[in-house]
Each structure stands twice: as C-alpha cells, then as structure tokens.
C-alpha cells in the first residue's frame, strides 16, 4: 500500500482521503484548518508532510492555493527530499496546471492533473469521475490510487487536458442547472406540481444530471442540498470560479460561449446577493425572486 500525503481536507478532500484510508493506504494529511479524520497522521505543515511520502494528492479551492502549495517558497517542490508522484485534483486554470506539471518535471517527479466530477456524495461513496491529464505512464501509475476514490477514470490527454475537460464540463453544468431551475420555476408559476414535472422530465428530452441527480427543488430527491436549505454540496462561489475559468479559457481560445457568459453573470449576481456559500442549486430561489 502507498504512502500518500493528502492536502486539503474540505468538502471533497475529506471524504476522498477517508476512502484512501479504507483502501489500506498510509496517509499523512495537511490542511490550514484543523483536521478531524481518524486513522491518519496529521502533519503540522507541508515540510513535515512531504518528508516520508511517495505520492501527494491535493484537493484545494483554486489556482492560487495550488501555486502556493506546490510552487511557493515554503511549498512542496521547494521542500521535497526526493522526486515523487503528484496527483493534483483541484479544479483550476489550465495555465497553473501546466506550470505545476513543468515545475515537477524539472525536479524529476511525475505529475497528473486529475480534477473530478460528482460532488460530495460521490466523494463519500468513492464514485467520483476523474479526468486525468498527463503521460500514458503517469496515468497507468496513478490509476490504482484514483480507483480507491472514483468509479470512472478517464485519460483526457497530456498535461492540462484533465482541467480542460473539467472546465468544459462545468460550463455545461452551470448552464444546465440554471435551465433546470428556470423550467421548475416556470412550471410552478403556470400551476404545474414540481413532482409531476420531475417524473415527466426525467423520462423526456430535457433530462440531465442537474435534474436527475441533483434536483434543485426540495422534497424530490432524498440526498440533495435542496433538502438541507441548500447547504453545500458544491458552493455557488465555486461554480462562479469554474464559470470564470471557462470564460478565461474561451477568451484565450477565441471560442464563443454566449450562454456561459450569461450563466457566469447570473452566478455572479446570486453570489453578490449573499448566495456565495450556499449550494449552487440554491440559485433557484434567487431566480424565483427576479
């Protein structure tokens, strides 16, 4: 079993680390906030974490955190005693992912960008989808570790391709969640029962993951944030971050994403109105008030 350092034990990283422990791996973990996870060694800082591990898995909020943790003066690469294999799972910009790949390669280490899709329920169940960017050899090496946390492990291409797939997926997710919210809000305003609409739509051509797995209306699916006053889940500010990443990527590639622009503006307005720490499906209530 592998000796793994895990960094970032938040909504996603906590349950992912738990599944690595369940699979029999030896974990040393680090987070800037106090960690409550049993069966692991808690490191006081990155220097301590990196001393005695063969792999690092990180699950951090955004690109700036990843740059600090990997490339900072007190970061992993400055303090690693040997070349190891890094599995960077956060959702971040392609540029940062490529910079981290390049810095690790320069030190003789192995790296994959491996962002996930699936949310906190999948993280807990070990059924995440991983989109992996890196060489064939790196993919083959990390796959068994990712299988302890996920059900579907895709090789998206070379360095940065995992992030490209993730950004495009979340562009679609943001748009589809708003679409599902609008459809329920319109149905309700017209006098249609939400449950009746759900039962029909999940079998009809409008069905999508935001409807069938993450329905934003309370009382329809048992384990969704909608049933817990939109407690995250996946915070609206994280969705806004991903839509901004998609817009930046679209601009750099000169690709037209007009619905992505609109979805970003709507999530920005929802966050500005106080929704930033709510689950991203909570935008349904804000849309209803417009």
The contact pattern for ligand NAD, residues 95-124, with x = CB under 6 A and - = no contact, is ---------------------x--xx----
Q: Which window, 24-32, 174-182, 205-213, 243-251, contacts ligand NAD (CB under 6 A)? A: 24-32
How crowded is residue 143: how many other Cβ atoms within 10 Å of its Cβ? 16
State yes or no: residue 69 binds ligand NAD (CB under 6 A).
yes
Q: Are 104 and 66 in contact (CB under 8 A)?
A: no
Could you tell me the smallest distance in angstroms from the CB atom of residue 137 to ligand NAD? 26
Residue of 22, 107, 143, 166 marked active site: 166
User: What are the phi and psi torsion angles at 170 (to 5°)?
Assistant: -75, -25
State yes or no: residue 67 binds ligand NAD (CB under 6 A).
no
The Cβ-side half-sphere exposure at 63, using a 13 Å CA radius, reads 16
Cβ proximity to ligand NAD: between 68 and 285 the closer is 68
Q: How far apart are CA 218 and CA 199, in angstroms?
A: 14
DSSP-derived letter for residue 36 is -
Q: What is each CA distance from 176 to 94, 101, 148, 218, 262, in whole angstroms?
A: 23, 32, 29, 18, 12
Number of residues that bind ligand NAD (CB under 6 A): 25
Q: Are 136 and 155 in contact (CB under 8 A)?
A: yes
Tell me the residue nearest to ligand NAD as measured from the CB. Answer: 10
Q: Judge whether 22 counts as a catalytic residue.
A: no
Burial tier of 262 (Cβ tally within 10 Å: 0-12, 13-18, 19+): middle
Residue numbers 244-283 binding ligand NAD by CB under 6 A: none
State yes or no: residue 49 binds ligand NAD (CB under 6 A).
no
State yes or no: residue 210 binds ligand NAD (CB under 6 A).
no
Distance of CA 144 to the CA centre of its chain: 20
32, 186, 200, 253: which one binds ligand NAD (CB under 6 A): 32
| Residue ranges that bind ligand NAD, judged by CB under 6 A | 7-13, 30-33, 59-61, 65, 68-69, 90-91, 116, 119-120, 233-234, 238
Which sequence positions are flagged as catalytic? 166
């Amino acid at each position: 079993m592998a000796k793994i350092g895990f960094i970032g034990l938040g909504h996603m990283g906590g349950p992912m680390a738990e599944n690595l422990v369940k699979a029999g791996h030896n974990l040393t973990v680090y987070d800037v906030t106090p960690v409550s996870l049993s069966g692991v060694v808690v490191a006081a800082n990155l220097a301590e974490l990196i001393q005695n591990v063969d792999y690092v898995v990180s699950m951090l909020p955004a690109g700036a955190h990843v740059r600090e943790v990997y490339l900072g003066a007190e970061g992993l690469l400055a303090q690693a005693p040997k070349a190891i294999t890094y599995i960077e799972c956060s959702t971040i910009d392609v540029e940062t992912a490529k910079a981290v790949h390049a810095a690790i390669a320069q030190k003789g280490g192995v790296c994959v960008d491996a962002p996930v899709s699936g949310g906190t329920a999948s993280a807990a169940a070990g059924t995440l989808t991983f989109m992996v960017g890196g060489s064939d050899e790196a993919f083959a090496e990390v796959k068994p570790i990712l299988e302890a946390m996920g059900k579907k492990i895709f090789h998206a291409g070379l360095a940065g391709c995992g992030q490209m797939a993730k950004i495009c997926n979340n562009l679609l997710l943001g748009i589809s969640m708003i679409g599902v919210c609008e459809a329920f809000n319109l149905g309700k305003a017209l006098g249609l029962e939400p449950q009746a609409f759900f039962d029909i739509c999940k079998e009809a051509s409008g069905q999508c993951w935001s409807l069938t797995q993450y329905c934003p209306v309370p009382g329809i699916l048992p384990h969704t944030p909608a049933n817990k006053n939109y407690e995250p889940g996946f915070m609206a500010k994280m969705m806004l971050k991903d839509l901004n990443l998609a817009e930046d990527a679209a601009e750099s590639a000169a690709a037209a994403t007009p619905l992505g622009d609109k979805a970003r503006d709507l999530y920005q307005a929802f966050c500005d109105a106080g929704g930033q720490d709510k689950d991203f499906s909570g935008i349904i209530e804000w849309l209803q008030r417009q």
